[in-house]
Structure formats: C-alpha cells, structure tokens
Amino acid sequence: MYISIYRRRSDAVFFAFLCFLLFCCLRLLFIQFFRFNYLSEIARKQHSLFVELEPHRGVIYDARLKPQAINLPVDSLFAAPNEMSQADKQSAVLRLPAILNLSRSYLQSRLLRKKSFIWLSRKITPQQSAAVKKLNIKGLGFLKESKRSYPNGYLASQVIGFAGLDNTGLEGLEVYFDKYLKGQAGWAVYLRDARQKKLDIWEKMVLPKDGFDLILTIDEVVQYIAERELDKAYKLYHAKGANIVVLDPRTGAVLALASRPSFDLNDHGTASKDAVRNRAICDLFEPGSVFKIVTASAAIEEKKVNEADRFFCENGSYRVASHTLHDHTSHGWLTFKEVIGQSSNIGTTKVAQILGAEIISKYIKLFGFGVKSGIDLPGEISGMAKEPRFWSKISIAAIPIGHEVGVTALQLANAVAVIANGGMLMKPYVVREIRDKFGEPIKQFSPTAIRKVISPETAKRVKNILAGVIEEGTGKLAKIEGIAAAGKTGTAQKLEPNGAYSHNKFVASFIGFAPLENPMVAIAVTLDEPRPYYFGGVVAAPVFKNVASDTIKYLRAAGGARGELLALNEN
C-alpha cells in the first residue's frame, strides 16, 4: 500500500516536471520563432545608440576671403532617463538649473520621459560643460556639435543675418542661401557597453555632407568705413534710423551695406525687430530732391532742355492747380544747371511740365523705381511709382521733386550708378561665388546689365550738372579734397498719420559717386528724422564725403585693389 502511494506521487512529480519542461520548450520555440524580431530590436537598442551627425555649415567670406561667419565646436548635453535612478534624476534637477540657466520644471519634465536619449541643453559654453562634468551624474552625456559664430559682431549684421540653434538660417544671407550653407545631416549607430556607455565604435554610419561656402562682393574694410561714418551721423543727429549703400557702379557689386540701429550677430536673441530689419532694402520713403536726377536725365535725353536754358523760379512761390509750391530759398532766373545745383523745386517742376507725365513716368521705370532690383537678399520691397493715369492735378509738381513716390536706399544707389557708369542699369548683387570645401566653384554670379537707361552722352552731361551740386550748389559739404565728385542732396518731409506732410519730421539723403571720371564708388546715404539739423546737404553729405574719400584711398593704397576687386566680382 505504501509503495503504491509512493509510486503514484513519484509519477505525479515526474509528470509535472515533464509538463513544465514541455512548456519551457514550447515557450522557447515561441520566443525563437515568433518574438525573435521584437526581442532582437530591444537588445539592439540597449547596445546601440543612434546619433545624428550634424554637417558643418558653410563659411561666409568677404571679397578678400576674410571670414564673416564660421563654425565652432561645442558640447551639447543629453540624458538617458531610462538608465538613471531616481536619485540621479533628483540630483540633476537640483544642480543643473544654476549651471544651464534652465528651470527645474523644464528639466523634471524632460527626465520623466521614458526614453534612452533626450536633449537637455544644446551648444553650451565650455564653462558650462566643465561644470556639468564635475557633477559626475550617471545618465548624462555630451555630443560635439558646431555653433555659428560671427568674428566681427556688429559688422554687416543685417546683410549676413544669423542661423538658429539647429544651424538653419533665419535672417539675411544665412536664410537666403540656406540650402547651400546648411549641408545634409548624416547618422551613425554606436555600440554601448553593459553599463550603456557609448563606445567609440560605430556599427553603421552615413557621413554628413558639409555646406558650401559663400564669397561676398562686400569688402570688410569698406564695410567698416561705411558703418563707422554712418554711426557717427546717426548718433550726432539723434536719428530714428539710418542706412548706407556703397556700390561698384560698373558691375552693381555691393561693396558695403549697413543700417542703424544695428545688433551683435553673436547675441541676436536680444536684438529688436527694428535693429534686425535691413532698412536699405525694406524701408519705403519719399526721396525728395535726390529724385531730381530722374527729371534732369529725362530732360536732356529727350532733348527738351539744355544746361544753359533759363527758368524763372518765381521768387520762391509757384501755384500749380490748388497747390502752392515753394523753394527752400527764393530764386529768380536760374539756368537748368543751376536749377539742379540749387535744388529748386519750382525750376524742376517747370522742366517736368515741359516733359509731361508720360515721359517722367517712363524714366522713373527705366531707372528701376517701382520694381525690385533683384538683389540676393531677403525682404526687398518694390517701392511705389504711380502710373500717369493715377496722377492728380498736382502730381506733376510733386513726383518730379521726389514726392508721391516711394523708394528704397538701394534703388537710389542703383539709380545714381546709372549716371556714373554711362547710362546702364545694373543688377545689384552681394554674393560673388559659392564654393565647396575644396575651393571648387559650385555657382558663380557675374555682373548683369538690366537695360540701357540713357545714352553715354546724356550721362556725361548729367554727371557734370551733379558735379556742380558739390562745387557750387547745396552739396558743398560733400566735396572731397583732391578728388572730384558728383552728387545730389535731398530733404523730404514725412507724412503724418492724417496724410498731411510733417513740418518737423524729415528724411535727409545724399546720393553721389566718385571720382568724377572713372567712378569707383556710388553711394546713397539716408537718415530718418535727424535732429536738430535735417537738410541732406548738412547731415548726409559729410557721410558721403568721408566714406568715398577713405574708400578710394584704401582701394588705391591696396595697389590696384579696385581692379583686383572688380576682377573678383566679375569672375
């Protein structure tokens, strides 16, 4: 009896073990054949780390290959929350905020995520990186990334623009040429040890493709000269804003372009929208008397007026329809050359009345007003130029002297360059070439003639009239010692919100070129609401004088630098 019971118990135990063994075998077979991929993926994730490899953003160089935007290697901090204990997370939340300038709530929300990789702070300073490493908190790690840096800070800030944290362009050339500068990201799968530490052994890798480099037409020295002189006038006359454009009149290459207020490219996060805005291409204003170069050119090109023709300027008061036109100084009889030289509104209006609305409108368009210039910068506006059918009875007295028309500083610089280069409207451009990392050109930009505006003979005659503006007229403060120059002053009343012209808000401007023969630079300077002086011949003309003088001296001292620069801009 006892033996029988013992055998039954032994058989039961044996049967139980046999069933368990069969269950384990079936389970192993199930895992092997049905759960293999799932579990292999978990194992792979535990021993592998997927990392995106950031490409190096292209460098931006000036015309003489001086870097204006570069990349610096920096640390980016990440965490592996799945590998961190509660104590490690708590230590990170308590100790990291003071180092990284982050809130505790932000760090806590990041570390609560059930992930094996998560960014905590990207592109931190070397000091922050060293401080975090000293904490020796398990689950924190660093990856090398590149951070955009701008060696010259404020210089050409609105032109160059800036890139964001992910190295994507946000403003200026950085955004306009982003597809060339950014490159293509790569990736790598690194192996990790049993403690989940990254080993310097990669399983798979696709290398990133670095971005291309930009070579600009802008010259760092000319840019500095232009910004230095603009900044002086901007501060001296307490202006609301200011800008300057320096062109090579023969090619349309931009040698310098600046606006005020400005900002530091390395601290663009604190910059206001007003400082970031490129006023030279996106601010619309009535130009005032600088616009008289259009009327003067049209009159001579159409053979309606000669320089010696005399006009009675009504002693400073002239009625046109319902409007009474005034000159800033009363004049009697003036020759046409003196009308432009003394900037007589009445004399210019009488010339415009001879020409008629259709001819005036035709030359406004020929000089490039009312349309975008096509410059390779973001944010350019077209300006405003009314068709003759929309002119009022007083438009013939307003438009030829620079009212009822909206322009940009770039359009003014491009227009005066027409007279400087012999009558051709050129397309302005900032980027000369796009190169790869080996210096091989990917894309090149050369001077582009848009159209012929006036004949060389007309351009020469207008050039002499504008030389008289500086020698004997309203632009005497633009006279450069030892260098003949030509230019035109402008002082325009701004519109008030109610549509009336202001009596205390003005835009002062000066456009010109130098030297008179074979001009090297064409320049437009504007100051918005300067105080207490507001005449263009007083506040803007000296800026032209100093910029033109120092730029020409610099180019000449460089030993044929102008020819070299033009060759660079053309190739």
Please, where are the H alpha helices in 148-219?
157-160, 172-176, 178-181
Enzyme catalytic residues: 289
d(CA 351, CA 301): 13
Phi-psi region of 328 (alpha: psi -120 to 50; beta: other; left: phi over 0): alpha
Residue 178, C-beta contacts closer than 8 angstroms, at least 6 positions apart = 168, 169
Interstrand relation of 310-312 and 486-495 (parallel, antiparallel or unpaired): unpaired
d(CA 360, CA 357): 5
Cβ burial of 438 (10 Å; 0-12, 13-18, 19+) is: exposed
523, 245 Cβ separation under 8 angstroms: yes
Residue 34, C-beta contacts closer than 8 angstroms, at least 6 positions apart = none
Q: Where are the beta strands (DSSP E) in 155-221?
A: 186-192, 198-206, 213-216
Q: Which residues share a beta bridge with 119?
A: 78
Place of tokens 């000293």: 134
Residue 110, C-beta contacts closer than 8 angstroms, at least 6 positions apart = 79, 81, 118, 120
The three-class DSSP label of residue 503 is strand
d(CA 534, CA 491): 7
70, 62 Cβ separation under 8 angstroms: no
Place of tokens 């009535």: 286
- C-alpha distances in angstroms, 376 versus 64, 160, 439, 492, 551? 19, 11, 22, 29, 23
